[in-house]
Structure 1
């Protein structure tokens, strides 16, 4: 990195900006060190290397600030939140926040940051993305079911409650309709998720080679080698498959083949979890629970005894807050803009609810 050159007379605005950068670099280095304490091996080494890089950036701003470096302001709220989660959880959620933070670096447009610093920040984003990707893979199956279940519960039951409520029926009818929708939807989501994940796992298992197929090799006719068809089915040309099959038959060793079969069984057992898909029972339980937790929210006003327009408005507000929260979580974990995801969830949910509410008004009476 090139040596920092301090301007002769930096403006007060520049001094404030440098202090803010210095505070954020120190805090981000602390975040990576906190994360490293919860990791081992290669991940720990990578996180400590990121902390060292932030330390180099810190030194740059300290060089520019000189004696003024002692007056460093409090770090930004974003960085404080990141540090809080890193110290207490150290999960993929924190890595996703760190990825988002690295993507917003202002160094490329700041004349007082070196090109090497701007390049570092861009690469840091990719490094953190790679670390977070491992956790995202583990979360993918169950997390997908959880988020889908919660949002489906929120939107479908809000639409159901508002649509029925707009017809002018009693609050008791709306309440029991909402509870029925909660139970029916949660059971349907849980069952559907179980069948979906279980079927996908069974399809993957059916595609795995049979570890005991080697026992047929000694009995094959080398001149009419059915084994060649196996290799052709796996993508080899006819000539390649035949040559490879003849070599396998000629060099077959029962002890070596048995050892290889044992390895395949171990690999199959290790892959049984299929982390990117998730557990069928885990996905079903998550889907059921999160659908129910989302679907109960539109019913809360009626459980509290509210009726008419007050119940409708309260249900819409509560669901809107919940949709913003789930959308923000999805945005953070995906490394995208949390606000865009949050308002997208809100718009979709309110759009569906507004449509059923309008239908309820059209075919019913008025809200009591």
Structure 2
């Protein structure tokens, strides 16, 4: 893309904005790097250096440091504030979104290298964020699932009960009962799920049951190769590996029991986690969501006022969890937040209408 021969005042203002944004983004990466070690730290510092090269490009076009500079974009300022204080996976997710909105593809004064750099930066930040997402995925899934289940199910419960026109005390009792029943169900279900999964994996793990028999196997025709083939190793490689192991066993001192573990091929099983820890976490996550719809009745509200306050509180919580999912997944926080809100309020609307059909409307 060829640049115009004579830049305008508007062009120079745009360059100044690019300049301060590049500086702010470099500070974000340095702030993140200060909270990390090893390879991730080096990668983040390299990104900051790349932003510095872009900064130098705009400085050159401007003919040096301008006397007055604009403030960085609002999104970049928020990103910098979060990076200095949190340095979390949320910041990398926000940075990923920011790198994906680079204006350099359509900027006549940006070089093709700069536009290419921004695309690579997006992928690099996505990779860094992906590491954090993998570390966080199990806990985050349990937290979002448990909290949203508590929010939606208990909101639907108190809306349906409240719409029948029963006394506020009954609505409160129903909400608390729903909280305890749901949280206990979630905790018990997670305990059984994790314990069952661990038992299933333990049953499939290789063991040392046959290790003591290795020295007695025939070197040329032995069934150890079949063990390796069951683990996905090709037959020729399995036979060669079996021969090496049996040869080593024959060379060992026969007076000493041979205890060499059979080699295990393939990836290790993922860590499932502790059943009690998963159960307690699920209980607490569900309860933290389920308590919110009940708060108006706990504080003595009733009727339509309690319903409206409950909807507002739950709406804020649903928007927050939806936005968090959007940030961590690299998607649009607004879309995910609205989706969560519509799902939660849709379920509540259905039970509210059913409550009206079965009883007296709110008074």
Per the normalisation by structure 2, the TM-score is: 0.89
Secondary structure of the structure 1 residue equivalent to 2:331: coil
**1:342 alignment partner, one of 337, 350, 354:** 337
Match of 2:68 in 1: 71
Contact conserved, 1:232 with 1:238, CA < 8 A, in 2? yes
Quick one: distance in 2 between partners of 1:208 and 1:19? Answer: 61
The 5 Å alignment of 1:186-335 reads 186-211=183-208, 213-222=210-219, 225-236=222-233, 241-242=238-239, 244-252=241-249, 253-254=251-252, 261=261, 274=270, 277-335=272-330
In structure 1, the residue matched to 2:80 is 83
* Displacement of 1:134: 1.7
Of the three residues 5, 8, 18, the one matched with 2:6 is 8
Give secondary structure in 2 for the equivalent of 1:22: helix
Task: Give structure 2 stretches of 5+ with no counterpart.
Answer: none
Structure 1: runs of 5 or more not aligned: none
Q: Is the 8 A contact 1:158 1:353 kept in 2?
A: yes
- How far apart are the structure 1 equivalents of 2:23 and 2:45? 13
Task: Deviation per CA, 1:285-315: give whole Å up to 9, x if none.
Answer: 3221121111111101111211111111111
Q: Label 1:153 to 1:116 Cα distance change in 2 as closer, same or farther (>3 A).
A: same
Query: Does the 8 Å CA contact 1:5/1:64 hold for their aligned counterparts?
Result: no
Shift of residue 360, structure 1, vs aligned partner: 0.8
CA displacement at 1:241 relative to structure 2: 4.2
Hey, what's the Cα distance between the residues in 2 that align with 1:46 and 1:184? Answer: 48
SS in 2 for 1:69: coil
After TM superposition, give the deviation of residue 319 of structure 1 in Å.
0.5
User: Using the alignment, how far apart are the partners of 2:192 and 2:252 within structure 1?
Assistant: 40
CA distance in 2, matches of 1:97, 1:278: 29
Using structure 1 for the length normalisation, give the TM-score: 0.88
Quick check: 1:166 aligned with 2:133? no
Give the alignment's Cα RMSD to 1 decimal: 2.8
Given the alignment, which residue of 30, 34, 45 partners 1:33?
A: 30
